[in-house]
Amino acid sequence: MALYEAMFTQYSTCTAQVLVTNLDFHEDQKRQNLNSTLQELLRMNIVPIINTNDAVVPPPEPNSDLQGVISIKDNDSLAARLAVEMKADLLIVLSDVEGLYDSPPGTDDAKLLDIFYPGDQHTITYGTKSRVGIGGMEAKVKAALWALQGGTSVVIANGTHPKVTGHVITDIVEGKKVGTFFSEIKPAGPALEHQTQVARNSGRTLASLHPDKRSEIICLLAELLTERREEILAANKMDMDLAVNTGLLQAAMLKRLSLSPAKLNSLALGLHQIAVAAQDSVGRVLRRTRVAHNLELEQITVPIGVLLVIFEARPDCLPQVSALAIASGNALLLKGGKEAANTNRVLHQLTQEALSMHGVKEAVQLVSTREEVEDLCRLDKMIDLIIPRGSSQLVKNIQRAAKGIPVLGHSEGICHVYVDAEASVDKVIKIVRDSKCEYPAACNAMESLLIHRDILRTPLFDRIIDMFRTERVKIHAGPHLASYLTFSPSEAKSLRAEYGDLECCMEVVDSMQEAVDHIHKYGSSHTDVIITENEHTAEQFLQLLDSACVFWNASSRFADGYRFGLGAEVGISTARIHARGPVGLEGLLTTKWVLRGDGHTAADFSEQGTMKYLHEKLPVGQPLAGQRDSN
Amino acid sequence: MALYEAMFTQYSTCTAQVLVTNLDFHEDQKRQNLNSTLQELLRMNIVPIINTNDAVVPPPEPNSDLQGVISIKDNDSLAARLAVEMKADLLIVLSDVEGLYDSPPGTDDAKLLDIFYPGDQHTITYGTKSRVGIGGMEAKVKAALWALQGGTSVVIANGTHPKVTGHVITDIVEGKKVGTFFSEIKPAGPALEHQTQVARNSGRTLASLHPDKRSEIICLLAELLTERREEILAANKMDMDLAVNTGLLQAAMLKRLSLSPAKLNSLALGLHQIAVAAQDSVGRVLRRTRVAHNLELEQITVPIGVLLVIFEARPDCLPQVSALAIASGNALLLKGGKEAANTNRVLHQLTQEALSMHGVKEAVQLVSTREEVEDLCRLDKMIDLIIPRGSSQLVKNIQRAAKGIPVLGHSEGICHVYVDAEASVDKVIKIVRDSKCEYPAACNAMESLLIHRDILRTPLFDRIIDMFRTERVKIHAGPHLASYLTFSPSEAKSLRAEYGDLECCMEVVDSMQEAVDHIHKYGSSHTDVIITENEHTAEQFLQLLDSACVFWNASSRFADGYRFGLGAEVGISTARIHARGPVGLEGLLTTKWVLRGDGHTAADFSEQGTMKYLHEKLPVGQPLAGQRDSN
């Protein structure tokens, strides 16, 4: 009590201890008294701290609760009784575990339940009692169900977790997914874990289909996009109207949200290209080795498993990403923005319609917009790769939230163009203009222009500045440039800024090597360009610079899957493992090793054994034996 | 005070408020009084809570401290004065930032300092004041330096971080790296951040060397291992003696710690193989495309960057891993076990000696054994890949600690062998024995044997059981097997156990499909085997099963880089992105895209432009233009 008092005093809140016994609930007069006392305390802004009056009642005997009625001998039951008595909206029961698991926490398959319905009780196996307090989880659940019947919702959550202490109660009140929520009503949509499991199972069937069948699904989806145009556009109109009426979206966002017959046609065209790429993705033999006589090893491409793609307003992402997943035999969870909910629902229905033609309808799932990204990232055992498609802020947030799940994407595109002393004037103007101005919001647009010192006070320098003026590009001077000029533009706040607009940083370097060092220090290893006529300098730059894309005399805007000729672009990655730079379909594939023997053992190759390793490379061209149609 | 009192009361500790003024420090008699009061309180186990007597002194004026002397007008200075006065060993100053940064936190290059020496003060740039309290970081540092001069060590740390609250003080007292430690003495070794930076820079030079030179370094290291054998073995004897004397290592660990001339010879042999593989690793062209006329794209292999390899007792790991890093042009941080400290030091010296021949001595760094794995994992912006080599417990711990840095390795090897109804008896006995008994501690050893129901009560079943008895393999029955047998072995506690010993789980399945489902549910996607004479069943299994290695009629023990013929093994990965299964040198490589143009812009290819994409595949055989020797 002293501690409660001291803590609440920090918030200028008074507390009052109230001690009760069983009788206070059983006799109407006493119940009435208790009720008015508590109501009066709350009216006066005094927080009642309630406990059993241990001094006058016998000590609690666990598990001696009456059938159907609960006593108040343990605090869980007391809390339940009080909550119902006071007609509380919500009872929060804090424990030392995260909530209710379907089997004792720590066992093989124990899974935390987000929501628990009274009807599900038979699916739970309880363990031995928790270390804290009497009662254990079973008693807590009993009390919670009792309160639920009385009209009070209940959350059982962890109150001891140092990370959330102090936030757990506000999180619960704000409706976040914390602990286990006891509810009478099953929600409309399926549970996320269930969706993921269904997607994985259906995805395995999808992966085992003949590539032709995966292509057929994608082609059908492309056809549905044009055939069912009216349905799609009607749903899109609902989203657009809602967005316009609420006025929450900016013009640029509205443009991305809106679909048109032309957009749908070009989308369908893109899907047909992906259908072609699907022919040669899963089951490709990358390596074939005769390990020994009758022992043959193949390394073949296989899907990664379950992908989670998170995208913002753009609904055209949905069929495109679905086609990529289908082409690579991956299961897919899609999480789109609220703004496009209606359009996404229709597009997802069409995708499932196409998938149904080969019995894999559930391989692509649309995740409810109510699910938080943080909740999705918790599923680290069920999701194999997250692909955020959208602003770099979205990517950054997801990289932060994704604990243990790899994320494919670049969080920043701080691209540099370095103008060497021996650069051609025309190429400089052409490439710098294209890199900065063609589409300044793109991640492969130039953010920093580095110029060799010898160019200062030359006509080329003036022409660059003139071009920027014509194109209305705002220049931020780096410290060296500022120190060289008498009147310089405003100094850059950071040499690591991603403007994403008609703005850029401009800085002077003494040499190609200094340009490389500058880019290593301030760049994001996305795409960096050198402009020079000196082949030796160019090749040095291309070799020394450690970025995903390094270009010579070409615009940074070429860093793009379509422009690279990869067929379809999954994204651009600045990660250093798996895929790097513009990523095509192969970024959605991994490999497995298939070894076919005839009773071979490792002991056969030991000193006492009779066999020798051959490790003979075999051609990989032949069709894969295992790539049969299993349906 | 009320809060302090309430909190300390929870630990049955009394507190006493002591209010002081400047005069209490300046007059000898008063200092004496204050000192004895505090000593007496501490003697009585009462914790003094000390503050300035604000009621009788003027309010604090920031920055008006006397030159060289500090006042007690802010709490930081008061704490410093009191700590020195009381001859405290340690003063802990809690702030709302993690500690002292070399520039204001949040700016471009701000870096938290682990240790701060009085001489380093000029390297710090201070920002505006912290939100909490008067004084800001500059005042804190001034107070800290004053206390340090008076003989009290100081730690400035974050007291508001919810994750560490309650632990921060005990962590500091236990000597963990928390916040900034103010010390008079520079430690013997270099700081970890510095080592990483030096390694990255030297690694970039290593990567730009001609492949022949990388091979030469590895060959020289191999020679040094035999030439300087005496030196290595002497250091190893020191480690062995220490281990034997302290008796901390088990026999198996001692065996792994011990080196011999034979071990060194075979190590040198392995290094020569890696030197050959080094010829064809970095700068290999994987793809070459003519994007358009005079616009050529290459995808080439490049090093990942900075690797951190953590290994246990085995000192022979050091030269092997170093050779792999050198062959792939990667910088390397090595963290070995304490037990092998002397051997590792000598082996690392030899490695640096070999690296020196081409001026890249610092590319391989030995991390002090004092550094904790958690501290290494904090360097997520500086380390690109962590490779743990050792027990699966080690791998698991590191996967847990590595926030944001990818980890290459398998945390579990729960390998299955499935005996189909149509299996050949001889192959079953041979393969099951080899998979379980050849080296039961290996990650690719069988942990679970699944048998088709039709095999129960056949001679094959009895022969399997007999073989297990002969080989002294302890059987744990799965629930189905147990239900079929009248007298069954003890039931398996979990179907997901990695025994790593002469033990295994045995379970009955109804079909090949059920075997696949069982493995998907309980396996670790490492290596799984089918034994059958039915090719159709085998191919179905190979295709349906989603593991890194899937084998037909061959022992699970073949899942190994050497046996696969990969030349050198970096590790075995159960991750689903980047490398999967046994990983050769290519697991240490990533790619970059090199585009060579002639002033090309994206606008040239627009509807108004004059150019067309060709996307013509070119042969990749030619030597890479950029792969010149830059030294």
The residue extents of the domains of chain B are 192-401, 415-569
pLDDT attached to residue B450: 98
Residues of A in contact with B594 (CB under 8 A): 542, 550-552
Share of chain B above pLDDT 90, in %: 53
Task: Round to whole Å and give the CA distance between A212 and A623.
Answer: 14
Say if the ipTM goes beyond 0.85: no
Interface residue A612 vs chain B (CB under 8 A): no
Inter-chain CB proximity B576 and A384 less than 8 Å: yes
Secondary structure (DSSP) of A220-254? HHHHHHHHTHHHHHHHHHHHHHHHHHHT-S-HHHH
Interface residue B401 vs chain A (CB under 8 A): no
| Average pLDDT of the segment spanning B147-152 | 88
Q: Tell me the shortest Cα–Cα distance from B92 to chain A, in angstroms.
A: 21
Q: Tell me the shortest Cα–Cα distance from B579 to chain A, in angstroms.
A: 7
Inter-chain CB proximity B551 and A7 less than 8 Å: no
Contacts of B606 (CB under 8 A, 6+ apart): none
Chain A from 466 to 505: CB within 8 A of any B CB: 494-496
Inter-chain CB proximity A163 and B162 less than 8 Å: yes
Chain A from 302 to 341: CB within 8 A of any B CB: 302, 304-305
Chain B from 207 to 226: CB within 8 A of any A CB: 208
Is residue A278 within 8 Å of A213, Cβ to Cβ? no
Inter-chain CB proximity B208 and A543 less than 8 Å: yes
In this complex, the residue of A406, A542, A599 whose CB is nearest that of residue B426 is A599
Range with lowest mean pLDDT among A171-175, A231-235, B339-343, B546-550: A171-175
Q: Which of A197, A406, A557 is nearest to B604 (CA)?
A: A557
pLDDT attached to residue B376: 80
For chain A, the distance separating the N- and C-terminal CA atoms, rounded to the nearest angstrom, is 68
Contacts of A458 (CB under 8 A, 6+ apart): none
> Is pLDDT larger for residue B78 or for residue A350?
A350
Quick one: tokens of B430? 């041979």
In this complex, the residue of B431, B591, B602 whose CB is nearest that of residue A599 is B431
Residues of A in contact with B572 (CB under 8 A): none
pLDDT attached to residue A252: 79
Q: Tell me the shortest Cα–Cα distance from A424 to chain B, in angstroms.
A: 9
> Is pLDDT larger for residue B594 or for residue B57?
B594
Residues of B in contact with A494 (CB under 8 A): 107-108
Inter-chain CB proximity A204 and B433 less than 8 Å: no
Inter-chain CB proximity A108 and B431 less than 8 Å: no
pLDDT attached to residue B468: 97
Type of residue found at A17: Q
Q: What are phi and psi of B17, to 5 degrees?
A: -80, 135
In this complex, the residue of B295, B404, B628 whose CB is nearest that of residue A539 is B628
- Name, of A531-545, B54-68, B85-99, B112-126, the range with top average pLDDT: A531-545
In this complex, the residue of A108, A581, A627 whose CB is nearest that of residue B592 is A581
Inter-chain CB proximity B546 and A593 less than 8 Å: no
In this complex, the residue of B551, B564, B590 whose CB is nearest that of residue A580 is B590
pLDDT attached to residue B10: 78
> Residue B253 above 50 pLDDT?
yes
Q: Tell me the shortest Cα–Cα distance from B427 to chain A, in angstroms.
A: 5
Inter-chain CB proximity A576 and B384 less than 8 Å: yes
State the best of A197, A519, A542 to mutate against chain B, taking most chain B CBs within 10 Å.
A542
pLDDT attached to residue A623: 47
Inter-chain CB proximity A597 and B552 less than 8 Å: yes
How does residue B126 score in pLDDT terms, banded at 50, 70 and 90?
Answer: low
pLDDT attached to residue B623: 47
Inter-chain CB proximity A539 and B625 less than 8 Å: yes
> Is pLDDT larger for residue B153 or for residue B185?
B153
Q: What are phi and psi of B482, to 5 degrees?
A: -60, -40
pLDDT attached to residue B29: 86
| Average pLDDT of the segment spanning B264-280 | 92
pLDDT attached to residue A190: 67
Beta strands A14-20; A46-52: pairing state: parallel
Unique residue bearing structure tokens 């990983």: B583
Look at phi and psi of residue A472 and say left if phi exceeds 0, alpha if psi is from -120 to 50, else beta: left
Residues of B in contact with A304 (CB under 8 A): 576-577
**R_g of chain A, CA atoms, integer Å:** 32
Interface residue B8 vs chain A (CB under 8 A): no
Task: Round to whole Å and give the CA distance between B610 and A562.
Answer: 18
Residue of chain A whose alpha carbon sits nearest to that of B612 = A563
Looking at A357-475, list the stretches that DSSP marks H as alpha helix, in order from N- to C-terminal side.
373-377, 392-401, 425-437, 459-470
Interface residue A586 vs chain B (CB under 8 A): no
Q: Tell me the shortest Cα–Cα distance from B161 to chain A, in angstroms.
A: 9
Looking at A442-553, list the stretches that DSSP marks H as alpha helix, in order from N- to C-terminal side.
459-470, 479-484, 512-522, 535-544
Q: Which of B227, B319, B233 is nearest to B270 (CA)?
A: B319
Chain B from 589 to 608: CB within 8 A of any A CB: 590-603, 605
For B442-463, how does the pLDDT look when each residue is reduced to its tens digit (9 = 90+)? 999 999 999 999 999 999 999 9
Inter-chain CB proximity B577 and A576 less than 8 Å: no
Type of residue found at B35: N
Bridge partner list, A331: A306
State the best of A529, A593, A618 to mutate against chain B, taking most chain B CBs within 10 Å.
A593
Interface residue A434 vs chain B (CB under 8 A): yes
A485-497 burial, b at 16+ Cβ within 10 Å, e below that, comes to eeebbeebeebbb
Chain A from 279 to 298: CB within 8 A of any B CB: 289, 291, 295, 297
pLDDT attached to residue A132: 40
pLDDT attached to residue A520: 94
> Residue B164 above 70 pLDDT?
no
Number of H helices, E strands in chain B: 21, 22
Residues of A in contact with B292 (CB under 8 A): none
> Is pLDDT larger for residue B108 or for residue A454?
A454
pLDDT attached to residue B188: 57
> Residue B136 above 80 pLDDT?
no
Residues of A in contact with B538 (CB under 8 A): 596
Residues of A in contact with B434 (CB under 8 A): 601-603
Domain B415-569: which CATH number of 3.40.50.300, 3.40.190.10, 3.40.309.10, 3.30.300.130:
3.40.309.10
Interface residue A146 vs chain B (CB under 8 A): no
Type of residue found at A83: A
- What is the pTM (predicted TM-score) of this model? 0.80
Inter-chain CB proximity B555 and A602 less than 8 Å: yes
Inter-chain CB proximity B595 and A438 less than 8 Å: no
> Residue B426 above 90 pLDDT?
yes
Inter-chain CB proximity A628 and B539 less than 8 Å: yes
State the best of A564, A589, A630 to mutate against chain B, taking most chain B CBs within 10 Å.
A564
- Homologous superfamily (CATH) for A192-401: Aldehyde Dehydrogenase; Chain A, domain 1 (3.40.605.10)
In this complex, the residue of B551, B580, B625 whose CB is nearest that of residue A595 is B551
Interface residue B347 vs chain A (CB under 8 A): no
Question: Mean of the per-residue pLDDT values for chain B?
Answer: 87
Inter-chain CB proximity A430 and B599 less than 8 Å: yes
Residue of chain A whose alpha carbon sits nearest to that of B5 = A6
Count interface pairs A-B at CB distance under 8 A: 266
**R_g of chain B, CA atoms, integer Å:** 32
Q: Tell me the shortest Cα–Cα distance from B202 to chain A, in angstroms.
A: 12
Residues of B in contact with A581 (CB under 8 A): 299, 591-593
pLDDT attached to residue A101: 85
Range with lowest mean pLDDT among A322-326, B382-386, B387-391, B499-503: B387-391
Residue ranges of chain A whose pLDDT lies below 50: 64-69, 129-134, 163-165, 623-631
Looking at B446-594, list the stretches that DSSP marks H as alpha helix, in order from N- to C-terminal side.
459-470, 479-484, 512-522, 535-544, 561-564
pLDDT attached to residue A630: 41
